[in-house]
Amino acid sequence: MSHKEIDRLKIIQQLSERHISQTKVAEQLNISTRQVRRLAKQFHAEGAKGLISKRRGRGSNNKLPASTKSQALELIRQYYPDFGPTFAHEKLTEQHKLNLSVETLRQWVTHAQVWQPKSVKRNVVHQSRPRRSQRGELTQIDGSPHDWLEERAEVCNLTVFIDDASDELMSLLFTPTEATQTYMEALDSHLDYHGRPVAFYNDKHAVCKVNHPDH
């Protein structure tokens, strides 16, 4: 089961034991009460197995055959290497009678590195993010270097885990500097005391992302 399905299982179990209402389950899973009743019925009939997606491992019904993809890429390499996806799509449709969408072709040529999209600089509009409704849905993590000990020791970093819904300070850790290992140590303690939240949120600090994908 995926993490999402495990979380769903716990909530449906609470519903089955009458610890929570269908309306509350619908709110937490962001689905309708009709879907909640369907999940509860599947759980009652098959147990946890009933909550696993039946489509896992199956391809889309609308997926084009691999031969069509190979033919399209070969024709573009041979006749239209300098064409953009939209113009190339017109030629494949008119001249070669291939039936596919422009967006599908765009994905194929981009993934095959036959065509590279031009980077477009866009103005980023930052909107206020609504808070989560339940404790444990989202945990914010951040580090702040400061003279926390008021000159009684060196300036240090405070790593903080905050619950998004309640603003509760969940975990705090003093360390000499802010680093990836700092967050790992704070996370280890946090999981022991509070368990796993649905998601974490950070400010895209360098210590929280992979700068060398090959590592």
Partners of residue 163 on adjacent β-strands: 139
Structurally, what CATH architecture does the domain formed by 138-208 represent?
2-Layer Sandwich (3.30)
Confidence of residue 99 (pLDDT cuts 50, 70, 90): confident
Rounded to 5 degrees, what angle do the CA atoms 10, 7, 37 make? 65
| Residue 59: predicted pLDDT | 54
Q: If you average pLDDT over residues 35-54, what whole number do you get? A: 84
DSSP string across 127-195: -PPPPPSSTTSEEEEEEEEE-TTTTSS--EEEEEEEETTT--EEEEEEESS--HHHHHHHHHHHHHHH-
Sheet holding 156-163, edge to edge: 169-175, 156-163, 138-146, 199-201
Q: If you average pLDDT over residues 144-156, what whole number do you get? A: 89
How far CA 98 is from CA of 9, 70, 130, in Å, comes to: 44, 12, 45
In the predicted model, is pLDDT for residue 191 greater than 90? Answer: yes
| Residue 61: predicted pLDDT | 54
Q: What is the C-alpha separation between 182 and 175, in angstroms, rounded?
A: 7
**199-201/138-146 β-pairing:** parallel
Where on the phi/psi map is residue 44: left (φ > 0), alpha (ψ -120 to 50), or beta?
alpha
In the predicted model, is pLDDT for residue 138 greater than 90? Answer: yes
| Residue 119: predicted pLDDT | 64
Q: Where are the domains of the chain?
A: 3-51, 66-111, 138-208
Q: What is the C-alpha separation between 22 and 35, in angstroms, rounded?
A: 10
Mind listing the pLDDT tens digit for each residue in 61-91? 556 778 888 888 999 888 888 888 888 889 8
Q: If you average pLDDT over residues 33-58, what whole number do you get? A: 81
Sign of the alpha-carbon dihedral angle for 146, 152, 154, 157: negative
State pTM to two decimals.
0.42
Q: What is the C-alpha separation between 161 and 172, in angstroms, rounded?
A: 6
Q: Quick one: 41 exposed, middle or buried, by C-beta within 10 A (0-12, 13-18, 19+)? A: exposed
